Amino acid sequence: MGEHILTINAGSSSLKFALFTAGALDSVAVGMIDGLGTNPHFVLKDGSGQKIISDPLEGERAIDDHAGAMRLVLDAVAHHYPQAEIAAVGHRIVHGGMAHSAPVLVDEPILSQLSELVPLAPLHQPHNLSGIRAAQTAFPNVPQVACFDTAFHRAHPFVNDTFALPRSFYEEGVRRYGFHGLSYEYVTGKLAEIAPFHAKGRVIICHLGSGASMCAIRNGYSVASTMGFSALDGLPMGTRPGQIDPGVLLYLMDQKGMNAQEISDLLYKSSGLKGLSGISNDMRDLEASDHPHAKQAIDYFVFRVRREIGAMAAVLGGLDAVVFCGGIGENSRLIRECALEAMEWIGIELDLDRNRENTEVISSDRSRVRAFIIRTNEELMIARHTAWQLRAQQASTRRSDVYA
């Protein structure tokens, strides 16, 4: 089958992976294990989207953690594609800190640097790094490439990058990093293909999923993000609260006696849609529920999206397009409809029929601002970066051989 690139994308409760040809980056296989720790389900599809495996992983076969998921993924790839020669493995790394504004080949010093960032992304970074370790073991001497979710936002203006704290904290790295950068990078590129005029203008991308954020894009570059120092800020998410008054945290420490670990667990695991509803962290469950708390959780989520659309439009000085992506953004017509309802004041007029049909353009023909649904593809973005790093490494090796 020739050389291939494997991509690993570890989320807070999922593990996505994909297999591409190393040259043309044709999709060979894509898969996912979601519901880790609750109701794990394993899906593997071939490059055309045909299901090969759909396994609920029940009973003794249930997988509780990312380590077990990684073993299952590697076994499945080896079993179903035994002739695929893995030339490189690309990894989504949530936090790259100040040092990394582009993908890098992984070595021990890089791993050490990234390990120091675990406190800034405790829900993701440990799983990202364990994925690298597992891939190093499975594919020794194969290049491992780290692709950073924060890199896309590293050119933010100072005012969108800082907090109003003593300047020394900013210099030490206490600043707004932004996340979901690989998704934003892919969607921005895709928008340039389908609507080049709008892509050169003022765009808000809404990455709405279990993790949710929004990004203001001007001429293809990120200028602001709802997420900040950590992946807790901004919009409410599946289990994370989004924006919260820091005074609440002081209150929890002083009056409730909660320590740092208890507050961390509250913010990362028990808040957001799950905490508000008391029912589920999954928007699909909330939309299907008739419980008033489910409706209130949805209403709050939509309220924050609408609020941030206004804020991002102010940062951009106007708006030319809004794009929805991510699991909720791509699939929930209710959330899109509620988010864009009565938004004519900003130039958005939703076409209800197009929205219900999940068409690529969901705004009306009269709408001054164009509204899109673009299915994100972080795996392909990771594969592109990995292929570039692989070619650069191979070119460097050839040059070394010539001058040896």
| Helical axes 333-340 vs 292-316, angle rounded to 10° | 50
Catalytic residue of the set 26, 34, 107, 149: 149
pLDDT in tens, 285-326: 999 999 999 999 999 999 999 999 999 999 999 999 999 999
The residue assigned the tokens 């949710």 is 212
Residue 404's pLDDT is 59
Residue 81's pLDDT is 93
Residue 223's pLDDT is 97
Mean of the per-residue pLDDT values for the chain? Answer: 94
Domains of the chain are 3-148 (3.30.420.40), 195-373 (3.30.420.40)
Task: Give dist(CA 229, CA 179) in Å, integer.
Answer: 9
DSSP 216-235: EEETTEEEEES--SSTTSSS
Residue 36's pLDDT is 81
| Residue ranges in 280-403 assigned as alpha helix (H) | 283-288, 292-316, 326-331, 333-340, 352-356, 378-403
**If you average pLDDT over residues 6-11, what whole number do you get?**
89
**Is 149 a catalytic site residue?**
yes
Residue 395's pLDDT is 75
Distance from chain centroid for Cα 68? 22
**If you average pLDDT over residues 122-145, what whole number do you get?**
91
Residue 61's pLDDT is 81
Lowest mean pLDDT among 76-85, 86-95, 161-170, 248-257: 76-85
pLDDT in tens, 48-81: 999 999 999 888 788 888 888 888 988 899 899 9
3-state secondary structure 184-216: HHHHHHHHHHHCHHHHCCEEEEEEECCCEEEEE
Number of other residues whose CB lies within 10 A of the CB of residue 260? 10
pLDDT in tens, 255-272: 999 999 999 999 999 999
Q: Specify whether the CB–CB gap between 125 and 117 falls below 8 A.
A: yes
Residue 398's pLDDT is 66
Number of other residues whose CB lies within 10 A of the CB of residue 200? 14
Task: Indicate whether 397 pLDDT > 90.
Answer: no
Lowest mean pLDDT among 15-24, 36-45, 291-300: 36-45
